[in-house]
Amino acid sequence: MSTEPCRFDDAITRAARARDWTAELRDHLQACPECRATVALVEQLGTLAAATAAAAPPPPSPHTLWLRAEYARRARVRARLDRLRTAAGLAAPLLAVVGFTAFRGAEGWARLVQAAALPSPQLAAVAVLGLAMTAWVMQVGRAN
Ligand SMILES: [Zn+2]
């Protein structure tokens, strides 16, 4: 067996890739097993290349890329607003208690307790703390 390729090797390869055969190349192919192997190889490579191209996902469209970026931006804004809402939810009951105490003082609390007909200031304090805890738990639950 010769180590030199057939003299038609290049022409046969081009014809097999382009699927454009001359009568001379077709006649040679009948007589040359080496060139038939070359044609088989070119056809297998073509099949493999087509399968690879079909398996690869197409690149995303610019519209899809824009939508992804917009979704990520909105998620960041939403996360920032959630943190702000959580902080406000935690601070609001405390500010309400501090503000009421500052403007109405202990007598204000006593009047509030009487108006609410609660039996004792201690119970009123527990009720306020309970409300504050409830607001805090609801706020934390909403943030998650
Ligand atoms: Zn040949």
Q: How far apart, in whole angstroms, are the C-alpha atoms of residue 131 and residue 110? A: 18
Closest CA to 99 of 112, 87, 86: 112
Residue 118 pLDDT grade (very low, low, confident, very high; cuts 50, 70, 90): low
* Percent share of the chain, pLDDT over 90: 45
Cα(62) to ligand 1 centroid in Å equals: 49
| Total-model pTM | 0.40
Q: How far apart, in whole angstroms, are the C-alpha atoms of residue 28 and residue 10? A: 13
Cα(31) to ligand 1 centroid in Å equals: 8
| DSSP annotation of 116 | T
pLDDT at 144 over 70: no
Element (H, E) at 102: helix 62-115
Cα(18) to ligand 1 centroid in Å equals: 17
Cα(38) to ligand 1 centroid in Å equals: 9
Three-class SS of residue 12?
helix
pLDDT at 1 over 60: no
The residue among 119 and 5 whose pLDDT is bigger is 5
pLDDT at 29 over 90: yes
Give residue limits of the domains in the chain.
9-55, 62-143
